[in-house]
Structure 1
């Protein structure tokens, strides 16, 4: 969180907080201090500047399953140039509005497979991972990096889910057993079905 974001959300003058943080003043009003301490960490709003990592991962994941920059831009109501810049790591920070727009586009598109073979080739060449590799709780975590395995995660999740369903488990129980959220499991199943349909259509 930037000084600007903290001051705005705490309702105190930014200059006051900046002077204290930079050591230009050694004291701060008790009321101001209590307001700052009451803020939860990583509490962002649409005016906040955000690190681009989560957005990069989301856009790249959509490329990996065949969505073009134009498709993503349309879903996010952003320009194609912004989407492309995010995908290629050319943004060192993003506005909260842009982050929220990309998150919304990802939620809508990650359950489907796009038609852009160019995006797929680009993702494969760059080693970008598709949505099946990411859980909603992990995609924004800079400390999480999925280890490459021979079987893509969404395939493993879908096959494990099918086996557990044959044993009588519900989707909620399966998600808990596999250590993913229900949304993450549903997304993996959707991608798996889309891939099967594409392969059948190509056969």
Structure 2
């Protein structure tokens, strides 16, 4: 068992008063504590609560792969308190400490990269990016992993993934969720699998959250309008077509970007000829 190292009390803390110090600041700290204690008693508010729900929560976190130190960091308490709760040493616990521990869900940004975290959010993010036109191969290349294990993850699912993978996918999702891709095959796969895009999720990391079935992703024309507005926005800030092409990660051809920038500068939009396929033209003539 890990032995907690207690820090010595400082002047101005009630611990220092209980240790026998009677300096004005220590007496004041004890006075304020007792005032709050009497007020809580008058309001019938217990300062200590049953520890059973907290013990169950700590044990469930440990069973899911979290260490005691990670739980303590997330709950802003000592590791010794977490260990004592895990072993059921306390029948009651301070109400404020109980609230912090019950609300503690260790985040991926405070744990080690090799630690395991819940895979729900990671799987949903990758599937959402596929739903808006980003293929698995491109997603895997962007986060520096091989496409095969990533493909197996989103196809067969998993309960846990490493915190490093979860962080990498979350960072990529933050950058790409508002930038639809142009891979039609990826979109068709998402439709066939029943995967939903970013707009359908309210709390993507919550296993109990369900996607909004009424939300549909932007179509080709809507995406084209947004892309045009985005290109004009970059051009207005002085970016060259080459710089805009780099910003958009090559998703729009350089010739299209140049044409849009030219249309914006001249104020005249190029009229594209209405091309009719030969087979369609023959059908129209035969009719």
TM-score category, normalised to shorter length = 0.5 to 0.7
Q: Structure 1: any 5+ residue segments left out of the alignment?
A: 159-193
Superposed, which structure 2 residues align to 1:1-203 within 5 Å?
1-2=61-62, 3-4=66-67, 5-6=70-71, 12=79, 17=82, 20-23=85-88, 26-27=89-90, 41-44=104-107, 45-47=110-112, 48-135=115-202, 138-149=203-214, 152=216
Partner of 2:30: none
Distance 1:120 1:37 in 2: 43
Greater relative contact order (Cα < 8 A, sep 6+): 1
Larger radius of gyration, structure 1 or 2?
A: 2
CA contact (8 A) 1:46 1:95 kept: no
Runs of 4+ residues over 6 Å off in structure 1: 34-37
CA contact (8 A) 2:71 2:104 kept: no
Mark the CA change 1:43 to 1:154 in structure 2 (over 3 Å): closer, same or farther: farther
Distance 1:66 1:120 in 2: 5
Distance 1:108 1:121 in 2: 22
Report the 3-state secondary structure (helix = DSSP H, G, I; strand = E; otherwise coil) of the residue aligned with 1:88: helix
How many residue pairs get aligned? The number is 151
CA contact (8 A) 2:201 2:212 kept: no
Which range moved further: 94-103 or 139-148? 139-148
TM-score by length of structure 1 reads 0.58
Report the 3-state secondary structure (helix = DSSP H, G, I; strand = E; otherwise coil) of the residue aligned with 2:79: coil
Mark the CA change 1:12 to 1:19 in structure 2 (over 3 Å): closer, same or farther: closer
Distance 1:75 1:56 in 2: 16
TM-score by length of structure 2 reads 0.43
Distance 1:108 1:65 in 2: 13
